[in-house]
Amino acid sequence: MKEAGMGPQLERLRDEALRRRLEFAEARFATARSSGIMLQDGRADRMGAGERAGMGVRVLVNGAWGFATTESTEFRDWLSCLDAAVDMAKVSGMRIAEPVVLAEAPVVVDEVKACFEVDPTTVPLERKLAAVRGYEEASACRAGERVANVITGYSDGRQLEMVCNTRGTLVSSESVRVMIWHTITARDGSIRQRAREHRGRQGGWELVEAVPAADFSVKAAERALSLLSAPPAPAGKFPAIFHPSIAGLLVHEAIGHNAEADLVLAGQSILEGKLGTKVAAECISIIDDSTIPGSWGSYAYDSEGVPGQKRVLVEKGVLKGFLHSLETAARMGVPPGGSARADGFMHRPIVRMSNTLIQPGQASLQELIRDIDLGIVLRGGQWGYVWCEKGQYTCHAGEGVMIRGGQLAEQVRDVSISGMTLDTLANALGVSRDFELEMPGTCGKGGQSMPVNGGGPYVKVTEIVVGGQA
Amino acid sequence: MSGEQLEDLLKAAEIACEAAMRAGAEFADAMADLGQGRSVSMERNAIKSSDARRWAAISVRAFVAGGTGWASASGISQETAMRAGQQAAKLARAAEPDPDFVDLVTPAAYPEVEGLYDERVAQITGAQIASWVTHNIDGALAVAPEAMVSGGANAGWRQWALLSSTGVRVARRSSSVSMSVSVVIRRNDNVGSFYEWDTARVLSQFQPEGLGGRAAEEALRYLDSRTMKSGTFPVVFGPLASGGLLGGLCGAASAEEVQRNRSFLIGKKGERVASEQVTLVDDPLIPGGMGSGICDGDGFPHRRVSLVERGVLNTYLHSHYTAKKAGEENTGHSTRGGIAPTNVIPALGTKTAAQIIAEVDDGLYVTLGRPAPDTASGQVSALVDAGFRIEKGRLTHALKNTMVAGHGLELLSNIDAVSSDYRAEPGMVLPTIRVQGVKVASGA
């Protein structure tokens, strides 16, 4: 996969865009390499590797955007691609709201290398396989005869993105990510329950060496086993405490997406017109921070060449800001936020989250629980989605623990919740000092997938709708 | 686009396959892909961006003692194809043996499926797509001047070639065009929203006109949504929601899930898994169907398969691998890495959707939602994304913050009506269904 010489070639294309007097042009060359191992039911019978590379160019013509891509690394194809982008910008010009203006941003020329201790590509396959097998065997041993299926996976990936625009920015950013995951399905008669653990960091093989099976795959096995004897969750409204994993899902789905300035400007966000107003209880402060070292969603520069930064979204319940691209920052009259990210060369940058979290407080979990007579602690955040414009969200928690008389009581399974974003945030009663940022995953938006992380403390809310069956 | 390009793709796949075999693979297959598309996206009643994309990629599977190596790369040059083939073989040699692997699909006669490619779709210009977008913005605004319209439209084509060491050699092209329109209407603190869409492989089946207006009309109906009392109710799932439940059944019927011990349909083949109202056929041969094609991802010829007949599960969905492992007939549902249905067509009932709703005294109607059972546990716990309260046979008010739940088998067994009328899309029959005894939790 060709990378050498692409920087100068991007500059040649940029110079061609300048020669044509385009208002703005931004060319991005991106490569991605990945490899993975999947071990299932005792056999590592699937090994994979992938690589992709190509260039996408975005232009502004008469205030309208055009974008085009090619997987070719030949300069003549890049010139054709520039022509196509200009043609598409003319198409956009058929009906624009107002000419696009971009916020001023410092011109940056920089090269960022990935940080890791042990390059995962130098680790022999046998060693990787041994580690994965170790996780699987420990889990299967713990689950014993009740194990129905076990999948353990490992993947590493390296991404390189070069951004070059007509303002003079030329940034090359490299990142390396490693992830391990373990899913176990346990069975007891006709009941099947699944539990999953995953760990993901930006870094190298050292991530795997730092994760013992007892804190990873064995934990999943124990959860799957305990869920077999748990009753289904009750249906109805309950006072609830969100585990940090659910808080991470909630902050991502319910607030994070609504704080994306492109959705705000599109009229798709419930936070439109609420800047500076109270949108949550005072105990709630939310940030999106792409500078957290090693976190799955971090980056040095976004796909517009703007440095990643810490952004305050909600401070003590008051909406303080949104996530911005160059375009949305200009439209709202604020400095660029470095939140424009693109999924490889095939997509144009759009506003995205990075590491989004609720800030911890002072309470202990026990203090949050003790005045709840009948409620539920939700944990095991698995997935969720949000209807931004309506402020309606759902999260699948997978498991929970009932609270009875101020004490943790029986475990329950198959827990999903729904809520109205602003109601939930306004009804927050407290947050714990315990905190986790351990939800490395992929967020989908506009057909693009992006690595993000989420987390928070335990969050207590007055009530939440549980879609249970008991 | 030309036959020459299909030959180029076949050549790339052949080079990749040969490279894998020379590098020690016992079996190999390769798929080479080439495509191009144009799209126009809209945001708040204006065009946001117009994009032109093209792609070329190759993916190779190599097998050594059943262990699988996968390699994929962008581009279809000889060098890329050869490197991908060698990489796949290297990984296959490192993979552990799988005694259940027997071989790959052998050559067969493929059915002809009409309407999968339309040169007129391949030639659609950005300006034409933009005109659909602007007309639909205007259509929505004509219905509701305060409407905020988003979404987009796209058109493109794809060519692919699949070639295996066992002699499979097939190449085809397809086209697709689609549009979706999302409308949000705000009146004070009330929000109504809805989306409409259309999709087709051939231009004659594509009808983008009126999507914006219809989405706006629907969005108005969802203003002033409310919660309802919690309890157990009959639930009517409309055409855009019924597929979640029926499609979830097909997902759990994947032989891969069954053989891996993680499906709630294990041991259910030949048994009743739904009410007698439910009959499902998977038909990949429907002309112009969005899920249609001549063969599956392994190169196995497509055919019509009866999945569920009057509530009884007739077969699991198989790939070549799972069929050999089970000693059962291959149903042709491989997606190269997974198993999935193509065009799932439910048999229709005798009552209209209106009659089905009119028979409900106290219940709810789900317009949008994803009530798919969890594949392993079978549990359903789903948000009503958009829906209505039904009182005395009439849709009364829109719903918010409401969830439906139950076990998939229970919900499927409690289906007491499938409508006679339905929403038709290429390769899709989307009826209304009614399920009795559904647990409902709401924020009331």
pLDDT digits 0-9 by tens, A286-299:
999 999 999 999 99
Do B273 and B348 fall within a single domain?
yes
Q: Is the CB of B142 inside 8 Å of chain A's CB atoms?
A: no
Determine contact: B260 vs chain A, CB below 8 A.
Answer: yes
pLDDT value for B237: 98
Q: Is A151 domain-assigned?
A: yes
A466 with B442: Cβ contact below 8 A: no
A318 in a structural domain = yes
**Shared domain check, B279 and B402:** yes
Share of chain A above pLDDT 70, in %: 99
Determine contact: A43 vs chain B, CB below 8 A: yes
Q: Are residues A126 and A75 in the same domain?
A: no
Q: HEC profile for chain B?
A: CCHHHHHHHHHHHHHHHHHHHHCCCCEEEEEEEEEEEEEEEEECCEEEEEEEEEEEEEEEEEEECCEEEEEEEECCCHHHHHHHHHHHHHHHHHCCCCCCCCCCCCCCCCCCCCCCCCHHHHCCCHHHHHHHHHHHHHHHHHHCCCCEEEEEEEEEEEEEEEEECCCCEEEEEEEEEEEEEEEEEEECCEEEEEEEEEEECCHHHCCCCCHHHHHHHHHHHCCCCECCCCEEEEEEECCCCHHHHHHHHHHHCEHHHHHCCCCCCCCCCCCECCCCCCCEEECCCCCCCCCCCCECCCCCECCCEEEEECCEECCCECCHHHHHHHCCCCCCCECCCCECCCCEEECCCCECHHHHHHCCCEEEEEEEECCCCCCCCCEEEEEEEEEEEEECCEEEEEECCEEEEEEHHHHHHCEEEEEEEEEEECCEEEEEEEEEEEEEEECC
Nearest CA among A27, A281, A360 for reference residue A161: A27
Among B192, B221, B250, the domain-final residue is B221
Q: With respect to residue A216, please indicate whether it lies within any of the assigned structural domains.
A: yes
Q: Note the pLDDT of residue B2.
A: 58
Residues B110 and B170 sit within 8 Å (Cβ to Cβ): yes
Kindly determine whether residue B134 and residue A94, on different chains, have CB atoms separated by under 8 Å. Answer: yes
B12 shares its domain with B75 = yes
B258 and B180 in a single domain? The answer is: no
**Predicted pLDDT of residue B232:** 96
Q: Which residue of A38, A394, A464 is the best one to mutate when testing the B interface, meaning the one whose CB has the most B CBs within 10 A?
A: A394
Q: Do B148 and A67 touch (CB under 8 A)?
A: no
Q: Based on the fold, state whether residues A245 and A199 are members of the same structural domain.
A: no
Same domain? A397 vs A437: yes
The reply to whether B124 touches chain A by the CB within 8 Å rule is no
Residues A154-169, mean pLDDT to the nearest whole number? 98
Residues of B whose CB is below 8 A from A157 = none
One domain for residues B141 and B252: no
Same domain, A342 and A443: yes
Same domain? A224 vs A246: no
Out of B47, B51, B71, the one facing A94 most closely (by C-beta) is B47
pLDDT for the residue numbered B149: 97
Q: Is residue A76 located within the same domain as residue A164?
A: no
Q: Are residues A243 and A220 in the same domain?
A: no
Q: Is the dihedral of CA B351, B355, B360, B364 positive or negative?
A: positive
Asked whether residue A71 is domain-assigned, the answer is yes
pLDDT for res B226: 94
Distance from CA of B68 to the nearest CA of A (A): 5
Q: Which of B162, B193, B221 is the C-terminal boundary of a domain? A: B221
Contact with chain A for residue B92, Cβ under 8 A: yes
Cβ contacts of B137 on chain A, cutoff 8 Å: 95
Full-model pTM: 0.94
Residues A79 and A174 placed together within one structural domain of the fold: no
Smallest Cβ distance to B66: which of A45, A94, A423? A45
Task: Give the domain range for residue A206.
Answer: 120-228
State which of A162, A196, A228 marks the end of a domain: A228
Domain that holds residue B25: 3-221
pLDDT at A190: 83
Tell me how far apart the alpha carbons of residues A450 and A443 are, in angstroms, rounded to a whole number.
Answer: 5
Chain A residues 298-337 within an 8 A CB cutoff of chain B:
none
For B77-120, write each residue's pLDDT tens digit: 999 999 999 999 999 999 999 999 999 999 999 999 999 999 99
Query: A398 falls in which pLDDT band (50, 70, 90)?
Result: confident
Give domain status of residue A39, yes or no. Answer: no
pLDDT, tens digit, 9 for 90 and up, residues A399-422: 999 999 999 999 999 888 989 999
Among A178, A195, A228, the domain-final residue is A228
Regarding whether A293 and A412 lie in a shared domain, the answer is yes
Statement to judge: residues B231 and B216 lie in one domain: no
B3 CB within 8 Å of a chain A CB: no
Q: Does the residue A37 lie in any domain?
A: no
CATH number at residue A11: 3.30.160
* Domain of residue B198, CATH code: 3.30.2290.10
At A190, list the tokens.
Answer: 């006709």
Q: What is the pLDDT of residue B442?
A: 92
Q: How far is B370 from chain A (nearest CA, A)?
A: 11
Tally of domains within chain A: 3
The CATH number of whichever domain residue A201 belongs to comes to 3.30.2290.10
Q: What is the mean pLDDT of residues A167-175?
A: 97
In this structure, the answer to whether residues B247 and B205 fall within a common structural domain is: no
Per CB-CB distance under 8 Å, the chain A contacts of B186 are 267
In terms of domains, do B124 and B45 share one? yes
- All residues of chain B having their beta carbon less than 8 Å from the beta carbon of residue A89 are 50
What's the CA gap between A34 and B70, in Å, rounded? 11
Domain count, chain B: 2
Beta bridge partners of B305: B282
Q: Residues B70, B166: one domain?
A: yes
A335-376 tens-digit pLDDT: 999 999 999 999 999 999 999 999 999 999 999 999 999 999
- Give yes or no: residues A357 and A260 share one domain: yes
- Based on the fold, state whether residues B250 and B179 are members of the same structural domain: no
If asked whether residues A282 and A406 sit together in one domain, one would say yes
- In this complex, do A70 and B406 lie within 8 Å of one another by their Cβ atoms? no
In a domain, A93, yes or no: yes
Tell whether B441 is within 8 A of chain A (Cβ).
yes
| B199 and B328, same domain (yes or no) | no
Domain stop point among B201, B221, B241: B221
Average pLDDT over all residues of chain A:
95
**pLDDT category, A4, cuts 50, 70, 90?**
confident
B206 and B236 part of one domain = no
Closest residue on chain B to A394 (Cα): B383
**Run of H or E including A348:** none
Residue A437 has pLDDT above 60, yes or no: yes
| Domain final position from A194, A209, A228 | A228
Question: What distance in Å separates the CA atoms of residue A139 and residue B143, rounded to the nearest whole number?
Answer: 58
Q: Is the pLDDT of residue A470 over 80?
A: no
Spans in chain B with pLDDT lower than 70: 1-3, 444
Give the list of residues 6+ apart from residue A76 with CB closer than 8 angstroms, or none. Answer: none
Which of B51, B146, B254, B257 has the most A C-beta neighbours within 10 Å, making it the best mutation to test the interface with A? Answer: B51
Q: Identity (one letter) of the amino acid at A3?
A: E
Say yes or no: A367 and A430 in one domain: yes
Which amino acid does the sequence have at A222? E
Four-CA torsion B37, B38, B42, B47, nearest 10 degrees: 160
Task: Give residue-wise pLDDT tens across range A37-55.
Answer: 999 988 988 899 999 999 9
